[in-house]
Amino acid sequence: MKMMKRWLTSLGGVGLALAAASASAEWGLNMRQGVTPISQEVYSLHMTILWVCVAIGVVVFGAIFWSVMHHRKDKGAVPAKFHESTTVEIVWTVVPFLILISMAIPATKVLIAMENSSDSEMTVKVTGYQWKWQYEYQDSGIKFFSTLAKSTQDARNLDYQGDINEVEHYLLDVDNRLVLPTNTRIRFVITSNDVIHSWWVPDFGWKKDAIPGFINDAWALIEKPGVYRGQCAELCGRDHGYMPIVVEAMEPEKYQAWVKAQKAGLSAADAEAGKSWTKAELITKGENVYNANCAACHQANGKGLPGVFPAIAGSAIATGPKAGHIDIAMNGKAGTAMSAFKDQLSDLDMAAVLTYQRNAFGNDTGDAIQPSEIKAVR
């Protein structure tokens, strides 16, 4: 039963998890106001049209109930006999038409504002992968992948013995958050590397499809600091339910400090990639890379899913020649779900995860693959 529950969660858990986590109250029935001007305009439009519909409902059903009560047979009511009424037909045609026009005008204004991403102060490129997001800050050169948090990765494994309901932000947490400044007009350009995804943070008031070979754009101006969660809103494959989005909005001064720290980290990472690493160091780092990028398919224990994803433990590739292992990790394998990771992992991360795979799960090859070997293959 636990396995069935987890399997159903992987297929349809996105909606349930997001509804619980992204609503202001667990049983909230209305839309949220959100934290952007667009989301607030959408909310205002929604409420206006809702009350228009309520008023229409009161008038229509009030007329029905009044007619039923006052034109009953026991009151001696005699039904009128007529074939048609031109006046009535004009009224029930013109009145709904005017109501729809009065709704369409403000709705069109909101849609136009939603699509107008001009005059943006910064641009973030969002690329969907199965099953993660890549973020590239066009103005600063910072880029990274955002994948499912390790706490959820561990909880979704078939041999997990705990209660997934006790995992904080289950299915809605990541290892690397998208950090953005508040009170800044931000343009998002959204695309995909493989299949159709959809980038959706409910507090922003919109969602956009990420389509291979095509770029959609949108914008947001986040007015309140905080953490805002979302998920892929398109059925993009087996692990669709494990593709969350976490945005952390902070004051511009704090954001600039974060950018500075990220750039310093990139410089340090470049320096580290150029040195020679011990096998133990590579294995330690490789375990983290494996959990973030490989465990979703091959499982944390390396045993894979029989008939779906092959095992790393005892595999001919992970225990065979290093060149073959490097090639399939970097370039993927045609006709299978194995993705190409050469553009997703740095030289150091690639070397570390391959070293880990060749020395974990009972493989024990004793090999240590250096970042310089990956660089040479590139």
State how far the Cα of 321 lies from the Cα of 361, in Å rounded to an integer: 17
Laid out side by side, the sheet with 178-181 consists of 178-181, 244-250, 226-232, 197-201, 206-210
Q: Is the pLDDT of residue 286 over 50?
A: yes
CA distances from 176 to 148, 328, 338 (A): 9, 26, 23
Q: Where are the beta strands (DSSP E) in the chain?
A: 122-129, 132-137, 143-146, 178-181, 185-192, 197-201, 206-210, 216-221, 226-232, 244-250
Q: Is the pLDDT of residue 296 over 80?
A: no
pLDDT band, very low/low/confident/very high, at 151 (cuts 50, 70, 90): confident
Per-residue pLDDT at 14: 42
Range name among 4-8, 190-194, 252-256, 358-362 with the lowest pLDDT average: 4-8
Q: Is the pLDDT of residue 134 over 70?
A: yes
* DSSP structure string for 308-350: TB--STT-HHHHS-HHHHHHHHHH--TTSS----TTTS-HHHH
Q: Where are the beta strands (DSSP E) in 211-361?
A: 216-221, 226-232, 244-250
Strands 226-232 and 244-250: antiparallel
State how far the Cα of 234 lies from the Cα of 160, in Å rounded to an integer: 27
Per-residue pLDDT at 2: 43
State how far the Cα of 313 lies from the Cα of 356, in Å rounded to an integer: 11
Q: Which pair of structure tokens corresponds to residue 33? A: 């106001």
31 DSSP assignment? P
| Nearest by Cα to 131 from 291, 290, 238, 229 | 238
Q: What residues contact 190, with CB distance under 8 A and at least 6 apart? A: 125, 126, 127, 128, 199, 208, 209, 210, 215, 216, 217, 218
Q: Which pair of structure tokens corresponds to residue 136? A: 């590239």
Phi, psi angles (nearest 5°) of residue 228:
-125, 130
Domains of the chain: 2-26+121-261 (2.60.40.420), 37-115 (1.10.287.90), 274-377 (1.10.760.10)
Q: Is the pLDDT of residue 115 over 80?
A: yes
Q: Which pair of structure tokens corresponds to residue 153? A: 């990765």
**Residue with structure tokens 């409902």?**
57
**Residues 40-94: pLDDT tens digits?**
999 999 999 999 999 999 999 999 999 888 888 888 888 777 778 888 899 989 9
pLDDT band, very low/low/confident/very high, at 258 (cuts 50, 70, 90): very high
Mean pLDDT score, 325-329: 90
| Nearest by Cα to 234 from 195, 285, 284 | 195
pLDDT band, very low/low/confident/very high, at 11 (cuts 50, 70, 90): very low
Per-residue pLDDT at 9: 42
Per-residue pLDDT at 27: 58
